[in-house]
Amino acid sequence: MTAQPIIAVTGATGALGGSVARRLAERGLSQRLIVRNAERAPSLPGADVAEASYEDGEALVDALRGIETVFFVSGHEAADRESVHRSAVDAFRAAGVRRVVYTSFLGASPEASFTYARTHHATEEMIRGAGFQFVFLRPSFYLDYVADWADAEGVIRGPAGDGRIAWVAREDLAEAAAVVLSSGGHDGRTYDLTGDELLTMEGTAARLTEATGTAYRFQNESIDQAYASRRQDFPGTPEWELDGWVGTYLAIARGEMAVATRSVEELTGHAPQSIADFYGR
């Protein structure tokens, strides 16, 4: 009898990695949870735990011995995230990993307005260049954080203009990832994972108001105003981080987020969550 392949799940102490790991456990699959701190790892049937970080290539190689498939959760936003990802990809190859399922970002491109999406593109190219079988999951901005974009008065400020976006729930991404990891026919594919309704930021604020009973509104800013307001509200924030924050709105304004696909439904069998679904429960 052939032993069941073990899937490695990185970032298993985080919200996304942990959700994917739980879904794989529900499917009865064997896993290795790759975490920075083993004491924080979830206890799941069929799962063992290995302690390693992306930056520690030697430990990561040891943690991945015997693993064919890795669910690669992108690292924390940082000025050096591309080099951190390169360390991880090099370790995957050294350990003999054959397949990588990577959480990228919608519209990943070297010219993306959302600067972090440029890093995601670079990471995709690393994975391609290393010769892995791959699946790229490219979610839109998370529905989970929409309300957090507002200040204490319920005002969402940024240079998004009349651009549109189809927000996606992180749980929908996690379920789609679990399907890809546990079934065949996905290698070589890139899935744009979005909601099914394109909304302006003004429309987003209206939907939030309807769902929560709390008043939200959108206030458009110029690019200069956006940088100035964030420097005032978050003094000492490094420039690369400010670029990422402002870039979220610019990506919307410039039409880079105006994508609504059926990928969530095609993979999971159900429609993606809406603002009403998520915030009205």
Domain extent for 81 = 7-139+169-192+261-266
Instruction: List, for residues 164-194, the tens digit of each pLDDT value.
Output: 999 999 999 999 999 999 999 999 999 999 9
Residue 76: the pLDDT is: 85
Q: What is the dihedral of CA 103, 55, 244, 141, to 10 degrees?
A: 20
Q: What is the pLDDT of residues 29-83, one digit of tens each?
A: 999 999 999 999 999 999 999 999 999 999 999 999 999 999 999 988 888 999 9
Percent with pLDDT over 90 in the chain: 95
Q: pLDDT tens digits, residue range 238-258? A: 999 999 999 999 999 999 999
Residue 17 covered by a domain: yes
Instruction: State the pLDDT confidence band at 280, using cuts at 50, 70 and 90.
Output: confident
pLDDT of residue 167: 98
* Model confidence at 144: pLDDT above 70: yes
Tokens 């995230």 locate to 81
pLDDT for 37 equals: 93
Q: What is the CATH number of the domain that holds 173?
A: 3.40.50.720
**Residue 49: how many CB atoms within 10 A of its CB?**
20
Residue 119 has pLDDT above 90, yes or no: yes
Per the domain annotation, does 128 fall within a domain?
Answer: yes
3-state secondary structure 66-122: CCCEEEECCCCCCCCHHHHHHHHHHHHHHHCCCEEEEECCCCCCCCCCCHHHHHHHH
Does 157 score more than 90 pLDDT? yes
pLDDT over threshold 60, residue 3? no
pLDDT band at 259 (very low <50, low <70, confident <90, very high): very high
Number of structural domains in the chain: 1
Tell me whether residue 180 is in a domain: yes
- 38 belongs to a structural domain: yes
Instruction: Using CB atoms within 10 Å of the CB of residue 88, give its burial: 0 to 12 exposed, 13 to 18 middle, 19+ buried.
Output: buried
| Per-residue model confidence as pLDDT tens digits over 102-112 | 999 999 999 99
- pLDDT over threshold 80, residue 1: no
Residue 154 placed within a domain: no
pLDDT band at residue 281, thresholds of 50, 70 and 90?
A: low
In a domain, 54, yes or no: yes
Residues 61 and 44: their CA atoms lie apart, in Å, by 23
Within a domain: 49: yes
Q: Is this prediction's pTM over 0.85?
A: yes
pLDDT at position 2, please?
Answer: 42
55 domain-assigned: yes
157: nearest Cα among 55, 249, 72, 88: 249
Tokens standing for residue 275:
């603002």
d(CA 221, CA 219): 6
